[in-house]
Amino acid sequence: MSTPYRAGAFRLSPEDYRALTDAAQANPEAYWQDQGKRLDWIKAPSNAQDTGTGWFSDGTLNASFNCLDRHLKTRADQTALIWQAEEAEHIIRLTYRDLHERVCRLANVLRDHGIRRGDRVAVHLPTVIEGVVSMLACARLGAIHVVLFGGFSPEAIADRLADSGASLVITANVGRRGAKRIPFKTTMDSALSLRPDSLSVKHVLVVSVTDEPVPMQAGRDDMLNPLLASASASCPIETMASTDPLFLLYTSGSTGKPKGIVHGTGGYLTWASYTHELVFDHQAGDVFWCTADIGWITGHTYVVYGPLSNGGTVLLFEGMPSHPKPGRWWDVIQAHKVTTFYTSPTAIRALMREGNDVPREYDLTSLRVLGTVGEPISQEAWSWFDDVIGGGRCAFVDTWWQTESGGILISPVPGAVKEKPASATLPLPGVNPILVDDKGHPLEGATEGVLCIDGSWPGRALTIWNDDALFETTYLRPYPGHYFTGDGARRDEDGYYWITGRVDDVINVSGHRIGSAEIEDALAAEHAIVESAAIGIPHDLKGQGIVVYAVARDPSHPDLEMLAVRAIAAKVGRYAVPEKVYIVPDLPKTRSGKNVRRLMRKIACGETDGLGDLSTLADPEIVEVLIAIVQG
Ligand code: WTA
C-alpha cells in the first residue's frame, strides 16, 4: 500500500493548514469574517460569529446568485453540470450560462404558481438535472426547498409534506432504473390522497423523464416542460437575510417523528464553500463526482451548493454502479476524467466484491481525491479503495459530518493531514470537537467518549422546523455548552478521531439514518402487533442491518412477519425493511418497564455468553426464550 500523503501535490501544505488552524484559534471572529468573504453579499455582514442572532446575522445575500450569476463574468462558458444518463452515449453538458437560464425559467414558473419567499416547495425527483435546477430556482425566490428522498413511501412523503406545509411539489412522471420504471408521480398522488386535510399542496409540476404518460389532476397538476419553454430566461433574485432558511431536510433521530432540519443561507453557504474547497482540494478544471442522491444532505452540500458556489464542474449520474455490467462507475470516471470521487462505504463494500479485475480494465488516473461519508469505513475497504481505485496516488478523505452540521466537520485535508486508514482524522480549522463522559465532563488526551462540538460553526442548522424546543433538547441540552452529535468517538495519541457509531437509537443502514422509533411507530399502527423493538446489528454489506422483535396480539396469526415488513415498507419505505422479524412473547424490560436494547442486540448477534446481570429484569426468564427463538 502506498503512502497517500504527498505534500506539495495539493493546494495546502501542512504549514498552510497549521496557519489556518492557528488563525481560527487565535481570533475566530476575524477568521470567520474572512471566510464569509468567499461569498458575494448584497449587504456585507458586520459580524460573523453567532452570538444569539445567527451567523453573519446582519448580512444579506442570495444563494442562487452565489452559485450562478456571480460566475457569469468569468466562467459563463465553463461546464457547470455534466449529466450522464444510464446509456453511455446520452450526455448533457450545461455551462454556467445554460444552468443560470434553466434556473431562471423554473423560478419564473414557480412565481407564476404563486411561490414567494418563505414558501415551502417539495422536490421529489430521480437523478435528473431538474433536481439541481429546482433547488437553485427556489433559492432565487427565497422559497425554502424540501427535497424528499426518492425511496420514501407515500406515508413518509405525506408526513413531510404536512409538517413542512409545502404548497407546491416538483416531481417526475417516472425515474429510470435499468428497464424498471420508478413511479414517482403515482407515489406522490398516493401521498397527496392520504390525508388531504393536513396538506397545503396546491400545485404539482411534473418533469417528463420519459414520454410515459401519467394521470394528471386538472387544476392541480401541470407538465413542467411546456411551462419552462414559455417562461422568461431572466429572473431577479430575492434579497435574503443570512439567517433566512435556505432549505428544510428531514432526518431521523430518537423520536419516531421525522425532524425537519432547517439550514440558513449565509452560514450554510459559507460552510459549503469552505469545506468543499478545503476537503476536496478544489482546483480549476476539477470534475467533481459525489454519488449521493440530492435527497440527502450530502447531495445538497456536495452536489449542489459547495461545488457550484466555488464555480466547479459537477457530474450527475443517472444510473447504478454495476448496471448494465460491473464497472459502470469506473467507466463513468474514465469517460469524464473525474478528478474527485466522493461516495459511501456501503458502495465500496459492494464494489469490492466484484473483484480487482473489473476496475483494472479502466483508466482511473484522472482521480486525485477520493472521499467517503455516511458511516464508518473498515480498514479493508479503505485500503481497497485507496489502492485499487486510487492507485495509491490519491488523497483519501474519510469525512465525518451529519445533516445538522451542514457540511464536513472532521476530515483529512489533502496534502496537509497525514491519513490513517479508517480514521476521520482531525477537525477542520475552526471546528472544536470534544469528547465527554456520561456526565458531560470533557475528557483529555487519548480516550473514548461521546462526541460533542464546542461552540458553533457557520454550517450548523438553525433549528428544527416548527420545533425550536426540540432542537434545544436534542442538541444543546444533553451536554450544556456543547453541541451533541449523537455519535461516539475514540481519540488517539495523535489527536485523531475514530468515529465508533451512534450512541442513540439511530440505525445506519447503508448510510441511511433510520430511527428505531420510526420503525416501532410504524409497527404500533399495526393492530396485530402489540409492541416491538428495532435494533441495529452489524451487516457485512450494509454496515448495519435492522432486526425487529415484535410481540403479537395473536401469536397463531399466520403471516405476522410479512405483516410487519409490509407495515414498515408502507410507513417508512423499503429502505427500512428489516433483515429479520422475530415474533416473541415479550420484550426484555427493566422493572421500571424500559426495553433493554443492549440485551436484544447481543442476542440478535449471537453473543449469548456474558449477557451480564439479568437480575434487574422484570422477567429474567424471557432471555432464554428470546435466545431460543433467535437461534431457531
Ligand atoms: C454517520 C451524512 C463514521 C454518523 C453526512 C453521523 C459517519 C451520521 C461518517 C449522519 C464517517 C457520517 N464515519 N460515521 N465518516 N459520516 N457518519 O445525517 O453516525 O445522514 O452522525 O449525514 O452518519 O448521517 P446523516
Measured in Å, residue 380 CA sits from the centre of ligand 1 at: 19
**Residue of the nearest CA to atom 8 in ligand 1?**
402
- 404 DSSP assignment: G
Q: Taking the model in full, what pTM does it have?
A: 0.96
- 403 DSSP assignment: G
- Rounded to the nearest angstrom, the gap between the alpha carbon of residue 23 and the centroid of all alpha carbons in its chain is 30
Nearest to 103 by CA among 53, 73, 145: 145
**Residue of the nearest CA to atom 6 in ligand 1?**
402
Measured in Å, residue 401 CA sits from the centre of ligand 1 at: 5
Binding pocket residue ranges, ligand 1, CB within 6 Å? 251, 296-298, 373-376, 398-403, 424, 485-487, 499, 502, 508, 513
| Average pLDDT of the residues of the chain | 96
- What digits encode the pLDDT tens for the residues 20-43? 999 999 999 999 999 999 999 999
Cell numbers found for residue 306: 459547495
Is the ipTM of this structure higher than 0.95?
Answer: yes
SS3 at position 494: coil
DSSP per residue, 95-135: EHHHHHHHHHHHHHHHHHTT--TT-EEEEE--SSHHHHHHH
Cis peptide, bond prior to residue 324, ω within 30 of zero: yes
Amino acid present at 268: Y
Maximum separation of any 2 CA atoms in the chain, in Å: 74
**Residue of the nearest CA to atom 25 in ligand 1?**
402
For the segment 116-129, the average pLDDT, to the nearest whole number, is 98
CA angle 606, 612, 616 (to 5 degrees): 120
Nearest to 122 by CA among 170, 185, 162: 170
Measured in Å, residue 622 CA sits from the centre of ligand 1 at: 34
Amino acid present at 301: T
**Residue of the nearest CA to atom 3 in ligand 1?**
376
Measured in Å, residue 400 CA sits from the centre of ligand 1 at: 6
The CATH number of 506-631, from 3.40.600.10, 3.40.50.300, 3.30.300.30, 3.50.30.50, is 3.30.300.30
Measured in Å, residue 281 CA sits from the centre of ligand 1 at: 21
- What digits encode the pLDDT tens for the residues 42-94? 999 999 999 999 999 999 999 999 999 999 999 999 999 999 999 999 999 99
* DSSP H or E stretch at residue 171: strand 168-172
Residue length of the chain = 632
- Rounded to the nearest angstrom, the gap between the alpha carbon of residue 465 and the centroid of all alpha carbons in its chain is 17
Q: Which of 460, 508, 518 to mutate to test the pocket of ligand 1 (most atoms within 8 A of CB)?
A: 508
Which residue shows C-alpha cell 432549505?
247
How confident is residue 8, by pLDDT bands cut at 50, 70 and 90? low
Rg of the chain in Å (alpha carbons): 24
Measured in Å, residue 512 CA sits from the centre of ligand 1 at: 9
Contacts of 405 (CB under 8 A, 6+ apart): 453, 457, 459, 460, 461, 485
Measured in Å, residue 461 CA sits from the centre of ligand 1 at: 15
**Residue of the nearest CA to atom 22 in ligand 1?**
402
How confident is residue 253, by pLDDT bands cut at 50, 70 and 90? confident
Of all atoms in ligand 1, which is nearest to the CA of residue 404?
18
Of all atoms in ligand 1, which is nearest to the CA of residue 411?
15
Q: Which of 303, 402, 475 to mutate to test the pocket of ligand 1 (most atoms within 8 A of CB)?
A: 402
| Residue 607 pLDDT | 93
Cβ burial of 454 (10 Å; 0-12, 13-18, 19+) is middle
Give the HSE-up count for residue 231: Cα atoms under 13 Å, Cβ half-sphere: 22
For the segment 607-619, the average pLDDT, to the nearest whole number, is 88
How confident is residue 254, by pLDDT bands cut at 50, 70 and 90? confident
CB count in 10 Å sphere of residue 26: 9
Of all atoms in ligand 1, which is nearest to the CA of residue 513?
20
Q: Give me the residues paired with residue 168 across strands.
A: 121, 203
Q: Are 137 and 107 in contact (CB under 8 A)?
A: yes
SS3 at position 418: coil
Cell numbers found for residue 2: 502506498
- Residue 55 CA to residue 33 CA, distance in Å, equals 10
- Residue 165 CA to residue 215 CA, distance in Å, equals 24
**Residue of the nearest CA to atom 13 in ligand 1?**
376
Nearest to 355 by CA among 331, 397, 389, 379: 389
Cell numbers found for residue 105: 425559467
Q: Are 41 and 59 in contact (CB under 8 A)?
A: yes
Nearest to 376 by CA among 616, 543, 188: 543
Of all atoms in ligand 1, which is nearest to the CA of residue 512?
20
Nearest to 500 by CA among 538, 540, 535, 448: 448
How confident is residue 4, by pLDDT bands cut at 50, 70 and 90? very low
Measured in Å, residue 375 CA sits from the centre of ligand 1 at: 5
- What digits encode the pLDDT tens for the residues 388-442? 999 999 999 999 999 999 999 999 999 999 999 999 999 999 999 999 999 999 9
